[in-house]
């Protein structure tokens, strides 16, 4: 082969050329795998986002329950001290 095509063919036979070709093939593989798995990752991110929302809501409910319980026992203790005192 002559010209640029011949030079490219010679370069691909060297270690550097083979390493470059491997890198190009790996990049193409990453793109292809990424495209195929995009729906999976999108669904996973949506699921995680929904889970975080549920956890945030549960924390709010637990905080309300704890505050109410502490208030109840504080009132009960204040009543007991007043009844005794």
The reported pLDDT for the residue numbered 5 is: 65
The reported pLDDT for the residue numbered 36 is: 95
Asked whether the whole model's pTM tops 0.75, one would answer no
CA dist., res. 40 & res. 19, Å (int): 31
Residue spans of the domains in the chain: they are 3-84
Residue of 7, 26, 27 lying closest to 17 (CA atoms): 7
Q: How far is CA 25 from CA 11, 22, 38, 67, in A?
A: 16, 5, 20, 60
Q: How far is CA 22 from CA 5, 16, 19, in A?
A: 19, 10, 5
pLDDT band, residue 10 (cuts 50/70/90): confident
CA dist., res. 44 & res. 62, Å (int): 27
């Amino acid at each position: 082969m002559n010209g640029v095509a011949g030079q490219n063919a010679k370069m691909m036979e060297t270690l550097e050329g083979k390493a470059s070709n491997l890198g190009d093939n790996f990049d193409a593989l990453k793109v292809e795998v990424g495209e195929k798995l995009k729906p999976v990752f999108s669904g996973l991110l949506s699921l995680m986002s929904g889970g975080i929302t549920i956890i945030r809501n549960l924390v709010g409910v637990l905080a309300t329950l704890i505050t109410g319980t502490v208030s109840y026992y504080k009132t009960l203790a204040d009543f007991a001290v007043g009844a005794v005192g």
